[in-house]
A and B are shown apart, each in its own frame.
Chain A
Amino acid sequence: MDRFREYIDAVLKGICISKKRKQEMQDELYDHLNMLKDELIQEGYSKEEAESIAIKRFGDTTSIQKELRHVLTPFREWSRQWRKKNVPKMMLEYASIVVFALFISLSIHSYVFAATQVQQSSMKNTLQEGQRLIENKLTYNFSKPERGDIVIIDKERKAGALHVFLENGIEMVEAFSNKEKVDNKRLVKRVIGIPGDTVDIKNGRVFINEALYEETYTRGDTYPNSMKFPIVIPEKEYFVMGDNREVSLDSRDLGLFSIDAIEGKVTARLWPLNELGLVE
């Protein structure tokens, strides 16, 4: 068989067009190849050489075939390419990326740091309602809370990495489904008494280990409320109070908090912007 016919058949193979149109394409390309061949023979090439060069000039069959497919059967070509893609696999890939991203962000939110909003006035004047804070959840894995630290307490918090992770996940879903929800299980307070301390409250002032505890951040006088003083703080327990002493609902009424209930340390203020910075 003629080399040109062979080449043309290879080019048009698998292109779905009518017999008549296929014949037309064949004739047109055949005519062209023959003219190229004649020209090359006139230039001094042998018949075989001329045929090879002519075919070479047309280019390799796959690229010209691809071009023709796109033009002649565009719809077929789209669906062919679409079918080549493995759609379920693609979906799975996207889904796994989303799940992975959620996992990472939830992990960071659970263990490293989180942004929270102040909803009580019990820390006036240090923190105001509506301010946004950065809470460091990592620090108390390496060190113990110290006197003067501002901490976030979750009354219902249970220790254990998995538990913390699940709780955070549930809260995140809740936050998405109900934006107006007010977080009222968390408290923001200041650590006053650490394990081993003897805390006393007399004449509106705080005494630690029988020495007057100097406080510059308080608002109002400190009264014992419903707690009996002096009190010795046992291991792993903390005595916390809000800076707004006359208003704050804290250890004086709620009792001591265990280390497990302390979620993290407030380290920075994010909002409002003019008060952006570290919280002391």
Chain B
Amino acid sequence: MNKEIMKGSIDILLLSQIARRDMYGFEIVKELQLKSNNIYKMSEGTLYPALQRLEQKMCVCSYWENSDAGGRRKYYKITDLGMEKLIKKMDEWKQVSELIHSCKEELNWIDLENTSMQF
């Protein structure tokens, strides 16, 4: 997926996953990969700095649990502030996506017109 396009949406993707249930980093990557039909693999070099940032901004908090492998595992949980941010960002994205969608429809219409002219 286009990196430039993804850049602005990392926070929204992470928050939306953590909002569903408490998750750990590996799980978030897996979920996103699944949702994108294996197209999008968020790199760990992007994920962990982003999670740290969200934690600093108090959008998420974290706690530790024992992992099945024997070590400990860090889980992330969304905060009220994080939820607010998520809803706001979702709204913003909806506007952008609607705009792009209507622009695309316009293009399709032009396409149709051009093809019909050829006949």
* Interchain CB contact (< 8 A) of A27 among B43, B49, B71: B71
Say yes or no: B43 contacts A57, CB within 8 Å: yes
Chain A interface category by residue count: 20 to 34
Q: Contacts of A71 on B, CB cut-off 8 Å?
A: 49-50, 52-53, 56
At the interface, yes or no: A223 with Cβ under 8 Å from chain B?
no
At the interface, yes or no: B8 with Cβ under 8 Å from chain A?
no
Say yes or no: B74 contacts A28, CB within 8 Å: yes
Chain B interface category by residue count: 20 to 34
Say yes or no: B44 contacts A31, CB within 8 Å: no
Tell whether A36 pairs with B26 under 8 Å between CB atoms, given A31-B71, A59-B43, A71-B56. yes
CA distance A224 to B56 in the complex (A): 92
Say yes or no: B69 contacts A34, CB within 8 Å: yes
CA distance A32 to B44 in the complex (A): 9
* Contact residues, A13-37 vs B (CB, 8 A): 24-25, 27-32, 34-36
Q: Contacts of B48 on A, CB cut-off 8 Å?
A: 25, 28-29, 64, 68
- A residues within 8 Å of B by Cβ? 24-25, 27-32, 34-36, 38, 57-59, 63-64, 67-68, 70-72
- B residues within 8 Å of A by Cβ? 24-26, 41, 43-46, 48-50, 52-53, 56, 67, 69, 71-74
**Could you list 15 examples of A-B contacts with CB < 8 Å?**
A25-B48, A29-B48, A30-B71, A32-B26, A35-B26, A58-B43, A58-B44, A59-B43, A59-B44, A64-B45, A64-B48, A71-B49, A71-B53, A71-B56, A72-B52
